[in-house]
Amino acid sequence: MEPAPPSITRLLHQSQGGNKAAFDELIPVVYEQLYRLASRRLSSERPGHTLRTTEIVNEAYLRLVDADVNWNDRAHFYAIAAQVMRRILIDYAKSRKREKRGGEYEKVPLDSAFELGVPSASNLLEVNEALDRLSAKDERKGRIIELLVFGGLTYDEAAAAVGISAATLHRELKLAKAFLYRELTAAPPAAGRVT
Which positions ≥6 away from 64 have C-beta within 8 Å?
80, 81, 84
Q: Do the domain assignments include residue 195?
A: no
Q: Give me the domain span that covers residue 173.
A: 8-185
pTM score of the predicted model:
0.55
Q: Do the domain assignments include residue 177?
A: yes
Q: Do the domain assignments include residue 1?
A: no
Q: Do the domain assignments include residue 3?
A: no
Q: Do the domain assignments include residue 147?
A: yes
Q: Do the domain assignments include residue 45?
A: yes
Q: Count how many domains the chain has.
A: 1
**Residue 148 burial class via C-beta count within 10 angstroms: exposed 0-12, middle 13-18, buried 19 and up:** buried
- pLDDT tens digits for the chain (195 residues)? 444 456 788 888 887 777 888 878 877 877 887 888 777 777 766 666 677 888 888 888 778 767 777 777 888 888 888 888 888 888 887 777 665 544 444 444 444 444 555 555 557 788 888 999 999 999 999 999 988 887 778 889 889 889 999 999 999 999 998 898 888 887 555 444 444
Q: Do the domain assignments include residue 192?
A: no
**Dihedral class, residue 133 (left if φ above 0, else alpha if ψ from -120 to 50, else beta):** alpha
Q: Do the domain assignments include residue 114?
A: yes
